[in-house]
Structure 1
Amino acid sequence: MPVPRSPRRLMGVAVVAAVAVLVPAVARATDAAQPPPPAASAPADAGVEPWVWPVAPFRLTRPYVAPAHAYGPGHRGIDLAPAGSPDVQAPAAGVVAFSGSVAGRGIVTIDHGGGLVTTLEPVVSELEPGTTVERGETVGVTDLGGHADAGTVHFGVRLDGEYINPMLLLGGVPRAVLLPCC
């Protein structure tokens, strides 16, 4: 005699089947979407220096928020409030691809090769496109304007045209310390 199939039992079987199919597919898609290992984790003998923060010391005022899709809302970079000098440094060696004003705010874009491009704004700079810059070299000073809070620098990174979290190249997310609440 066949076992009676209740709607609840069928729903449970459907959920288990869906999870069995979707979890491996999501894991494969997530693995494929991950950027290659950051330059910061390259072996020292590879000739690649770790990236440096474009302003230091600083306070992180707005983190990276990945958009759900290419045109979705998000924050495609991090915002840093300088706690000292207004100087802005190149996070890694590269070539200035753009230095000028866009929509009333100063922008410096550096091509680091290997598909990595950084954008710093609002930054006033006298560098010309084509200028070679070294890691840690001053590329300009913090200005006002742009979409970041006044006095902060927006630091965005693209890998092969897609925005990635800049902190991946700077050693990841800073270590958090949990304190008791009471």
Structure 2
Amino acid sequence: MRSPVRWFLVMAVLLAAGTAPARAATSILEPGEDTDLAALGWEWPVQQFRLVRGFVAPAHAYGPGHRGIDLSPASARVLAPADGIVAFAGSVAGRGIVTIDHGSGLVTTLEPVTPVVTAGTLVRRGDEVAALAAGGHAEAGAVHFGVRRHGDYINPQLLLGGVPRAVLLPCC
């Protein structure tokens, strides 16, 4: 059982990091587990993108929130963020979805997409798994990138080390 002091410290860390307290977010901070998820070497599932909508943890398992991040990419290619096995590639409620099981309880979902892989395919980080499609709840032209750890949604940016640094380009 968690002590009230430990719970308070976990919530304080989550709030300071900009993550609302939720059951999903606290599961990554259990004793004995690797809490430096960014060290796993995941990559962004799209290249040259704009972060359209960030992760918003729900107050409880069925509460409102945004259980992933939406990215507006410069190209239609959608890549595997880490090594894994495609658990699902197909259509759900009229939109294409690719789900990758990365092991250790980590599962990625990418949507709306047109899969270029099939269930059971072994993928490596950076392999193309789909092309961006229309539909779903993400802004038009954006891909939704969700990650679950042991069944609970977590902020994908925990695995990526945050948002890449902006690079100013010369104009004119």
TM-score after normalising by structure 1: 0.74
Residues paired across the two proteins, number: 147
| CA displacement at 1:105 relative to structure 2 | 0.4
CA distance in 2, matches of 1:99, 1:26: 38
Q: Which has the higher contact order (CA 8 A, sep 6+)?
A: 2
Q: Is the 8 A contact 2:27 2:152 kept in 1?
A: no
Q: 3-state SS of the aligned residue for 2:60?
A: coil
CA distance in 2, matches of 1:38, 1:143: 32
CA distance in 1, matches of 2:27, 2:101: 21
Identity across matched positions, percent? 63
Question: Which of the numbers 13, 29, 33 marks the counterpart of 2:26?
Answer: 33
Q: Which residue of 1 aligns with 2:113?
A: 123
Detail structure 1 runs of 4+ shifted over 6 Å in the superposition. Answer: none
| CA displacement at 1:114 relative to structure 2 | 0.2
Report the RMSD for the aligned CA atoms in angstroms: 2.2
Please list every run of 5 or more consecutive structure 2 residues that lacks an aligned counterpart in the other structure: 14-24, 29-33, 167-172
Q: Which residue of 1 aligns with 2:20?
A: none
Q: Which residue of 2 aligns with 1:87?
A: 77
1:71-95 CA distances to partner (integer Å, 9 max, x unpaired)? 0000000000012x21000000000
**How is 1:132-143 mapped onto 2 (pairs within 5 angstroms)?**
132-143=122-133
| CA displacement at 1:33 relative to structure 2 | 1.8
Question: Which of the numbers 12, 32, 50 marks the counterpart of 1:59?
Answer: 50
CA distance in 2, matches of 1:81, 1:28: 35
Q: 3-state SS of the aligned residue for 1:73?
A: coil
TM-score after normalising by structure 2: 0.78
